[in-house]
Structure 1
Amino acid sequence: MIGRICGELIEKTPGQALVDCGGLGYEVDIPYTTFFHLPETGQAVTLHTHFAVREDAHNLFGFASRLDRDLFRLLIRVNGVGPKLALTILSGLDARQFVQCVDNKDASALVKIPGVGKKTAERLVMEMGDKLGSLEGTGDAQVSLEAVRPEQPVSQGERPGEEAEAALIALGYRPQEAAKALSQVDGEGHTSQELIRLALRNMMA
């Protein structure tokens, strides 16, 4: 089991990071909540990881905090939730928000995430309620991610609006949904990462 990797961040895109560890480049699948807090390329990075082995693929999933990684492991134990959907859930909601949804039995917020239907949302609320107590730092659903992963500076892309829309579509939102959410955000001076974060907040409201 590969539980953590430390190395130089070579490339980063929404959904994946390439980390060089002693000359080996590891492709790591990540949720957007981790992407937002990656350092600039060329800098050192540490990711808490989950290594999944299947007959047709070996996948390494990475997270900015141990809390995110442990929540991911709980999610994939729920019937009908695989690694891809778990990443999507953690891209739409941070750990604090997810815990609050479960604590408040708010399946409606989970249904807004692409790929999460009503039955899956209800199953998550029901099954995760008894499991979240095992997550270190979730005390009474008041998880502060800022305490475990401080804000990192982000770079300004040449076309932040287009990059943000493409990223939201890749996450599973329909083009018209992505465009509408971004139209509700004041794009002046924002990076693509910031636009994605604000648009996701609008769609989950």
Structure 2
Amino acid sequence: MIGRLSGQLVAKQPPWIVIDVHGVGYELETSMNTLVALPAVNESVSLFTHLTIRDDAHLLYGFGREHERALFRALIKVNGVGPKLALAILSGMDEDAFMRCVRDDDSKALTTLPGVGKKTAERLIIEMRDRFPEWEDGSNALLPLESTNGRASARNNLADAEAALVSLGYKLTEASKMLADIDPDQSTEALIKAALTQRMGG
């Protein structure tokens, strides 16, 4: 099991990144909360990881916080929740916000996340309530990640942000609408974060 990777960030194409570790490029999929905290391309980075092995692929997921990885691992144990939906949940809200939803039986807030319907939200609340002890003792400290400095053109950033939102489960028209009122003169990661924050009403 690959539990952590430290190396040079060589590519960011939300939600995918590539980390070069001693000449080997590892492709990882990350939540948007982790992605917006990453440094610029060609800078050093260290992420907690989770490896999923399928018959047709070995998939690696990266997390900026050990607590986030622990919640991801708890989520994929829930019936009907796979890695893609777990990442969508972690992209839409952080661990503390998710915990509050479960403890307050707030299924309405969970249904604002892409791919989470009423039945799934209710199942998450029921099943995750008993699984909190598995991960709530984990460290929630952020790894020393620097803010990104490099920016592409506003048009490319918008296109990349739109593609990332679609990959999270939003429809193309919905993703475009989410980005319509946001200042386009920002990095791709900042645009994604702003769109998700606006969607959550925060």
TM-score by length of 1: 0.88
What displacement does 1:149 show? 4.1
What displacement does 1:172 show? 1.5
Query: What is aligned with 1:153?
Result: 147
What displacement does 1:151 show? 6.4
Q: SS in structure 2 opposite 1:80?
A: coil
Decide whether the 8 Å contact of 1:37 with 1:149 is kept in 2.
Answer: no
Structure 2: tracts of 5 or more residues without a match: none
Query: What is aligned with 2:85?
Result: 85
Distance in 2 (CA, whole Å) between partners of 1:16 and 1:152 is 18
Structure 1: tracts of 5 or more residues without a match: none
1:1-205 to 2 correspondences below 5 Å: 1-136=1-136, 147-149=141-143, 152-154=146-148, 155-158=150-153, 159=155, 160-185=157-182, 187=183, 189-205=185-201
The one-character-per-residue Cα deviations of 1:126-159 (angstroms, maximum 9, x if unpaired) are: 1111212332458xxxx9x6x5246632232202
Aligned CA-pair RMSD: 2.0
TM-score by length of 2: 0.89
- Relative CO higher for 1 or 2, CA cutoff 8 Å, sep ≥ 6? 2
Over 3 Å counting, the alpha-carbon distance change for 1:195 and 1:137 in structure 2 is farther
The one-character-per-residue Cα deviations of 1:88-144 (angstroms, maximum 9, x if unpaired) are: 111111112211211211111111222112111110011111212332458xxxx9x
Identity of aligned residues (%): 45
Aligned positions, number: 198
What displacement does 1:194 show? 1.5
What displacement does 1:175 show? 2.1
